[in-house]
Amino acid sequence: MMNYTQNDKPPRSVLNTLRALVPQREATFTEALRIAEQQAQRFLRRLQVQTGPVSDDLLLDLPRITIEYMGRMPTSGCSFWDNDRKTWIIQVNCDEPLTRQRFTLFHEYKHIVDHGRTDQLYGIGRDAGKHAEQAADYFAGCVLMPRPLVKRAWCQGIQTAEQLAIWFDVSPVAARVRLAQIGLTDDEPMARCMPPKTVGAWASRQTFRSYYRQLSTRPLALQETS
């Protein structure tokens, strides 16, 4: 297991800045996705990211975030608050491809951002968990393939999912999804996650609510934002 923690912290909390974008009322799912993209844009702006590929090391610059790369995980990743260490833990399945690990990191960070605000963003109905997973995927895509940078690359002639995947250091599947979400292709926008049906042994160490990203699965239809 490899642990990464950065001790030199920015003076202001990025996490609180992103959480402040959540309205004090129940949002529709379309609004929740729009908020996820706004949060991704604010995240990149706060950390002064202007070009791609976006580094996953950005999360190491945030307070109380520890990243652990674990082998033989039953899921792609999970996140939880460790009360003993007073830090959020993001665990990533290091047996998966590096591009998926990068995606999982930001997917799990979105769950941390959403903590305590899931009812406002996704309601309490039977689809709440699915919507939270789809929004986390959407956030990760928005961070790793920011809309302005994708459009800039497109105008430079980088227009296939395979080319853009290399350019932004993501998987071709993630690139195809993001192109559809932005409206640069006619494909249906998709998400890559479903809520896990089971919780593995990882829950035994956790002292706070935990979030899990299940292993790669067939894409689901995702509502497009404007």
Residue 221: is it exposed, middle or buried by C-beta count within 10 angstroms (0-12/13-18/19+)?
Answer: exposed
Residue 210: the pLDDT is: 55
* Domains of the chain as residue ranges with CATH: 2-145+195-218 (1.10.10.2910)
Asked if residue 1 lies in contact with residue 99, where contact means CB atoms within 8 angstroms, the answer is: no
Residue 211: the pLDDT is: 54
pLDDT tens, residue by residue, 106-149: 999 999 999 999 999 999 999 999 999 999 999 999 999 999 99
Contacts of 156 (CB under 8 A, 6+ apart): none
Residue 63: the pLDDT is: 87
Rounded to two decimals, the pTM is: 0.81
Nearest CA among 142, 133, 135, 67 for reference residue 101:
67
**What is the percent of the chain where pLDDT is above 70?**
77
- Tokens matching residue 187: 């494909």
Q: Vertex 54, ends 52 and 57: CA angle to 5°?
A: 150
Residue 188: the pLDDT is: 67
Phi, psi of 22 (to 5 degrees): -80, 125
pLDDT tens, residue by residue, 170-220: 999 999 999 999 999 987 665 454 333 333 334 444 444 455 555 544 333
**What is the percent of the chain where pLDDT is above 90?**
74
Q: What is the mean pLDDT of the chain?
A: 84
